[in-house]
Amino acid sequence: MNLQLAWPWLLAALPLPLLAWWLPAASAPQLAALRFPFPQAVQAALAGPAARRSRVWPLVAALAWLLLVLAAARPQQVGETVHVPVTGRSLMLAVDLSGSMQTPDMQIVNRDVSRLEAVKAVAGDFIERRTGDRIGLILFGDQAYVQAPLTLDRSTVHTLLDEAQIGLAGQQTAIGDAIGLAIKRLRDEPAGNRVLVLLTDGASNAGSVDPLKAADLAAQDGVRIYTIGVGSDQIVMRGPFGFSQTVQGDLDEDTLRAIAKKTGGRYFRAADVVSLAQIYAELDKIEPLSKDAQSWRPVEELYVWPLAAALLLSVLVALGLSGTGAGGGAGAGAGAGALWSRPRAAGGKHA
- CA 179, chain centre distance (Å): 30
pLDDT band at 30 (very low <50, low <70, confident <90, very high): low
Residue 71, number of CB atoms within 10 A of its CB:
20
Q: Are 172 and 203 in contact (CB under 8 A)?
A: no
DSSP output for 45-78: HH-SHHHHHHTHHHHHHHHHHHHHHHHHT-EEEE
Q: Answer whether residue 77 shows pLDDT above 50.
A: yes
Question: What pTM was estimated for this model as a whole?
Answer: 0.57
**Could you report the per-residue pLDDT of 193-221, keeping only the tens digit for each?**
899 999 988 788 888 889 999 999 999 99
Pick the more confident residue, 174 or 27: 174
**Could you report the per-residue pLDDT of 106-156, keeping only the tens digit for each?**
877 778 888 888 888 888 888 888 877 889 999 999 889 999 999 988 899
Q: What is the CATH number of domain 84-296?
A: 3.40.50.410
**Could you report the per-residue pLDDT of 164-202, keeping only the tens digit for each?**
988 888 888 899 999 999 999 999 888 888 999 999 887
Region class of 228: left (phi > 0), else alpha (psi between -120 and 50), else beta: beta
The set of residues, in sequence order, having a beta carbon less than 8 Å from that of 73 and lying 6+ positions away, is 5, 6, 7, 8, 10, 11, 303
Residues 153 and 131: their CA atoms lie apart, in Å, by: 10
Domain ranges of the chain: 84-296
Residues 52 and 62: their CA atoms lie apart, in Å, by: 17
Listed residue (162, 172, 273, 269) closest to 226, CA to CA = 269
**Longest CA–CA separation in the chain, Å:** 132
Three-state DSSP class for residue 217: helix
- Burial annotation 176-193 (CB, 10 A radius, 16+ → b, else e): bbbbbbbbebbeebeeeb
